Structure 1
Amino acid sequence: MASSVMQQDLRILLVEDNPADADLLQETLEEAGVLTWTVSHVERLDAAIAAIHQEPFEIILSDLSLPDAQGLESVIGLRAAAPELPIVVLTGLNNTDIGLAALRQGAQDYLVKGQIQPELLIRTIRYAIERSQIQQVLYQQSAAMAASMEGIAILNDRQEYIYVNQAFLNLYGYQFADDILGTTLDALHQHSGFGSLWRWVEPAIQRDGHWRGELIARRLNQEIFYQELLITALNDGGFVCNVRDVTERKRIEAEILQTLEREKELNELKSNFLSIVSHEFRTPLTTILSSVELLQKYSHQVSTEKNQLRFRHIVNGVKRMTHLLNHVLVFNQAEAGKLPFNPVLLDVLEFCHGLIEEMQLQAGDTHQIIFSHPGSQGQCYRLDENLLRHILTNLISNAIKYSPSGSKVFVNLVCEPQAVHFSIADQGIGIPPADLERLFSIFRRGSNVGNIPGTGLGLAIVHQCVELHQGKIEVTSEVGKGTVFKVVVPVVARLVEAEGVISRKFMPVSDSIE
């Protein structure tokens, strides 16, 4: 920086009302013979201010006693007009107090008239310009730190805060810098979970000169937030801290991870779907194919009973595939929000009687379905018959499927003014506790089902149908002893038709299922 000052064409503004002193100063510059300089001489403060606005200068040499400004008034006026220019005060009094007062007002240095030697003048000019440039850089850095959106703090060698910018205060919820200055790094981060944060930071700083990490911090109002903290060692033994609130970034990262996990889960579900559908279709198709082949080749050689048995195998295989396809169709409609909700006036007791009789015929003698309906006689409600059929058939068929032959399945119906309550209990294999959490997810089956056939679609469909009815479903189970499903379906109080759209009005349902 010094060399640049020495090489440039130095433009000096001399503010001096005494012609003799002005001539002496210019002669002193000539004697120095070091600088290429140009001097613009004015005698008044107002003339100096006008000159500053008209042309650039590197430095101002100014007398303290001017016709229109006395004492420190000249320094104050020049400083206001050109805050970036270095000012060297010329005084005829060998008074240190006056020189120091001028420095406090923004002058870079002062010289006593009559004692100015060429070397002293050049050195004073050079140092004044260099100090001014350094001060401008420091001011710009300080202004940048103060205006930064990132929290910035400076600590001394005892890890005490000696400077914090506004962003740092805002980050931690403080209003005034004095609330933080003097406190230590550990005191401000006592809730970070690190114990003594400095104990974690110090080894890395000694090794690398800095430490970077993410930690949980606490604002003054006790609000938790995630922060990224960078601590860098300074040459003087202090440290600078850069702090960012990364709470939003952590939230987005968590969402991305959840999305990736969901994508992974969907890929697994697709793989499971293909495997399950392939297996579930292959078995009945094999049965159908073999039965058809036997009928083609040997129908005329075997009894009518055997032929009828093979026809039943074909029919059962077709029914099984149709059942699977219906499940897939219903679930896809529900997932796409296209599963219709069409409540009609329904005698629930009569509906349940018919449904259970049908399922008892399908179960044959292997299981007994016991239906109870205390106090429910001829009561009609507006319910979606199709959704209700999906709910009950899936739950009852599961109860039969996962229960040993000869066991009983208990179906209970309770009709109340606001809702209809169903309970389906079996004496089957039960559901392991670890499987209960994701029981209603698509293609999820209990880990203890073994070779019992199934797609993992039934309970997912039940859950969707219950949700469409704005109902609730709960399950309790014990491995080896059985499972109980409780379903509450709220009653549609009335239907309001507006612009061709059916609006559903439900009676409230309590949060828990009794």
Structure 2
Amino acid sequence: MQQDLRILLVEDNPADADLLQETLEEAGVLTWTVSHVERLDAAIAAIHQEPFEIILSDLSLPDAQGLESVIGLRAAAPELPIVVLTGLNNTDIGLAALRQGAQDYLVKGQIQPELLIRTIRYAIERSQIQQVLYQQSAAMAASMEGIAILNDRQEYIYVNQAFLNLYGYQFADDILGTTLDALHQHSGFGSLWRWVEPAIQRDGHWRGELIARRLNQEIFYQELLITALNDGGFVCNVRDVTERKRIEAEILQTLEREKELNELKSNFLSIVSHEFRTPLTTILSSVELLQKYSHQVSTEKNQLRFRHIVNGVKRMTHLLNHVLVFNQAEAGKLPFNPVLLDVLEFCHGLIEEMQLQAGDTHQIIFSHPGSQGQCYRLDENLLRHILTNLISNAIKYSPSGSKVFVNLVCEPQAVHFSIADQGIGIPPADLERLFSIFRRGSNVGNIPGTGLGLAIVHQCVELHQGKIEVTSEVGKGTVFKVVVPVVARLVEAEGVISRKFMPVSDSIE
């Protein structure tokens, strides 16, 4: 309470105005200054000219009757407390004035000094409290965070606009009266209150993240804080954390991918060192034997050791080629050079080479129903990578004496290849990541391999804008089906070749 209290007295009766000032003097508690006006318009003008702490106003003025004076003063100075002076000891009139914004009312002729001072003090304090509450309410309403108040029955009795927006509602009445459990029935908690009540009783609050559903059934993630109020009820603070959860998931995926890449690097070094060590050991031992004993053994044995060296070099060259091809593909630098190719003649030649390498251990059976000398524009090098890797895998993972079936079907829009074996098969759990680099079936045992072949096949098929599918049964064999779309025409301009493919259906028949 300020010691120099500035009072605006609005009273058209000079006697009543003098009496009121005399009553203030008798109180002797306050140092006060009274500005006296007799009309509502004069009061409004005075408010705009100088500051006041409180207004004492008669209800009956020359230019305002009844509650009009209260309404006019509240409109001009909503932050100032108003005490109404009435000549009638009528409670209804006093209450009506309070509903219009007055802080209190006094009946003329019954005003004692102590009552007047107490009324002025209380009116000013209540006004200050109301201003704070109004500011807090305005802050809650304008907050970007969803804010709600629950009663003791966990029913919503207040929600701000952000809360409505968060849940997709337009009007507060659509939520007010709804219970906490009803609004969060899709959270996965069953009864949410049953989960949060023990923590609130113990700590006074509960905080957690849960799934919620908007009015339009859209799912979102929210962070919810429920705090118990001292006088009963609860306040809820809600934030939409969907974007944060998405970013967290991306970070976790990135970390997982980084971990996976580190593991792949380790696997690569382990696999490559092992794959190089075997042919190098063969080459080294053959060279040593030739150096020491070539003059002591037959020409046939020396020739056999030379073949071991050649085969070792070929094996190392094959491994290096795999690594180089995959690196080119990963960097987007693997060239695509389609040429006019007799697919049937190409397949005959390639399978003859593969059969010579397989020797008598496996038989490659080639079928080509209806394919007679059709020529298509395809990339011969990529096609060779696709077929040699698939056929060599079919041979490698099949028992000696088994057969590998290669089928070719040429259509106007695409060329279909099928490679089937009678081998160990691929476990279902391995199929999903079969074409990832360094991924091998969990049942390969000691069969050598780098895990690069199928990754290269997949890259080459993608460069052709083709499709590859695999079906397999452990212990019975595997079938790979590849569809390569035909390049309809090539447009060459300024040394750049653009590809235009005939469309390929989504499924491989």
Same fold (TM over 0.5): yes
CA offset at residue 422 of structure 1? 0.6
1:147-194 deviation line (CA, Å, top 9, x unaligned): 222222211111122122222222222222222222222222222222
1:250-278 deviation line (CA, Å, top 9, x unaligned): 22222221111111111111111111111
1:43-63 deviation line (CA, Å, top 9, x unaligned): 332222222222222111122
Q: Distance in 1 between matches of 2:353 and 2:305?
A: 23
CA offset at residue 71 of structure 1? 2.4
CA offset at residue 325 of structure 1? 1.2
Q: Distance in 2 between matches of 1:16 and 1:497?
A: 98
Q: Distance in 2 between matches of 1:334 and 1:84?
A: 74
Q: Distance in 1 between matches of 2:104 and 2:267?
A: 84
Q: Secondary structure at the match of 1:201?
A: helix
CA offset at residue 491 of structure 1? 0.7
Structure 1 residues 118 and 500: CA distance shift in structure 2, 3 A: farther
1:357-406 deviation line (CA, Å, top 9, x unaligned): 11111112222211111111110011111110000000011111111122
Q: 1:248 aligns with which of 243, 252, 275?
A: 243
1:179-216 deviation line (CA, Å, top 9, x unaligned): 22222222222222222222212212111112222222
Q: Using the TM superposition, name which of 362-371 and 31-40 deviates more.
A: 31-40
Q: Distance in 2 between matches of 1:30 and 1:114?
A: 16
1:309-359 deviation line (CA, Å, top 9, x unaligned): 222222111111111111111111111111111111110001111111111
Q: Distance in 2 between matches of 1:109 and 1:353?
A: 106
CA offset at residue 501 of structure 1? 2.9
Q: Secondary structure at the match of 2:224?
A: strand
1:275-329 deviation line (CA, Å, top 9, x unaligned): 1111111221222222222223332333222222222222111111111111111
Q: Distance in 2 between matches of 1:477 and 1:435?
A: 10
CA offset at residue 39 of structure 1? 2.2
TM-score by length of 1: 0.95
Q: Secondary structure at the match of 1:445?
A: coil
Q: Distance in 2 between matches of 1:498 and 1:219?
A: 54
Q: Using the TM superposition, name which of 410-419 and 288-297 deviates more.
A: 288-297
Q: 1:364 aligns with which of 359, 364, 374?
A: 359
CA offset at residue 498 of structure 1? 4.3
Q: Secondary structure at the match of 1:7?
A: coil
Q: Distance in 1 between matches of 2:18 and 2:213?
A: 67
Q: Distance in 2 between matches of 1:34 and 1:269?
A: 87
Q: Secondary structure at the match of 2:484?
A: strand
Q: Distance in 2 between matches of 1:107 and 1:498?
A: 86
Q: Distance in 2 between matches of 1:89 and 1:435?
A: 86
Q: Distance in 1 between matches of 2:215 and 2:175?
A: 11
Q: Using the TM superposition, name which of 345-354 and 185-194 deviates more.
A: 185-194
Q: Secondary structure at the match of 1:297?
A: helix
Q: Using the TM superposition, name which of 228-237 and 469-478 deviates more.
A: 228-237
Q: Secondary structure at the match of 2:437?
A: coil
Matched, 1:258 2:253: yes
Structure 1 residues 499 and 52: CA distance shift in structure 2, 3 A: farther
1:211-254 deviation line (CA, Å, top 9, x unaligned): 22222222222222222222221223211222222222222222
Q: Using the TM superposition, name which of 398-407 and 25-34 deviates more.
A: 25-34
Q: 1:197 aligns with which of 165, 179, 192?
A: 192
CA offset at residue 41 of structure 1? 2.5
Q: Distance in 1 between matches of 2:140 and 2:43?
A: 34
Q: Using the TM superposition, name which of 46-55 and 398-407 deviates more.
A: 46-55
CA offset at residue 70 of structure 1? 2.6
Q: Distance in 2 between matches of 1:300 and 1:468?
A: 53
Matched, 1:42 2:33: no
Runs (5+) with no aligned partner, structure 1: 1-5
Q: Distance in 1 between matches of 2:294 and 2:28?
A: 129
Matched, 1:384 2:379: yes
Structure 1 residues 498 and 112: CA distance shift in structure 2, 3 A: farther
For residues 474-485 of structure 1, the aligned pairs below 5 Å read 474-485=469-480
Q: Distance in 2 between matches of 1:275 and 1:9?
A: 89
Q: Using the TM superposition, name which of 495-504 and 139-148 deviates more.
A: 495-504
Q: Distance in 2 between matches of 1:316 and 1:40?
A: 114
Q: Distance in 1 between matches of 2:168 and 2:3?
A: 50
Q: Using the TM superposition, name which of 250-259 and 453-462 deviates more.
A: 250-259
Q: 1:156 aligns with which of 151, 160, 166?
A: 151
Q: Using the TM superposition, name which of 408-417 and 455-464 deviates more.
A: 408-417
Q: 2:400 aligns with which of 400, 405, 419?
A: 405
CA offset at residue 7 of structure 1? 4.7
The answer for the alignment partner of 1:68 in structure 2 is: 63
Q: Distance in 2 between matches of 1:289 and 1:355?
A: 31
CA offset at residue 484 of structure 1? 1.0
CA offset at residue 499 of structure 1? 4.9
CA offset at residue 455 of structure 1? 0.3
CA offset at residue 445 of structure 1? 0.6
Q: Secondary structure at the match of 2:106?
A: strand
Q: Secondary structure at the match of 1:211?
A: strand
Q: 1:216 aligns with which of 190, 193, 211?
A: 211
Q: Distance in 2 between matches of 1:166 and 1:65?
A: 41
CA offset at residue 459 of structure 1? 0.3
Matched, 1:121 2:116: yes
CA RMSD of aligned residues (A): 1.6
Q: Distance in 2 between matches of 1:326 and 1:27?
A: 110
The answer for the alignment partner of 1:307 in structure 2 is: 302
CA offset at residue 481 of structure 1? 1.4
Q: 2:92 aligns with which of 97, 121, 124?
A: 97
Aligned length: 509
TM-score by length of 2: 0.96
Q: Secondary structure at the match of 1:489?
A: strand
Identical pairs, percent? 100
Q: Distance in 1 between matches of 2:496 and 2:55?
A: 84
Q: Secondary structure at the match of 1:237?
A: coil
Matched, 1:55 2:46: no
Structure 1 residues 52 and 412: CA distance shift in structure 2, 3 A: same
CA offset at residue 123 of structure 1? 0.6
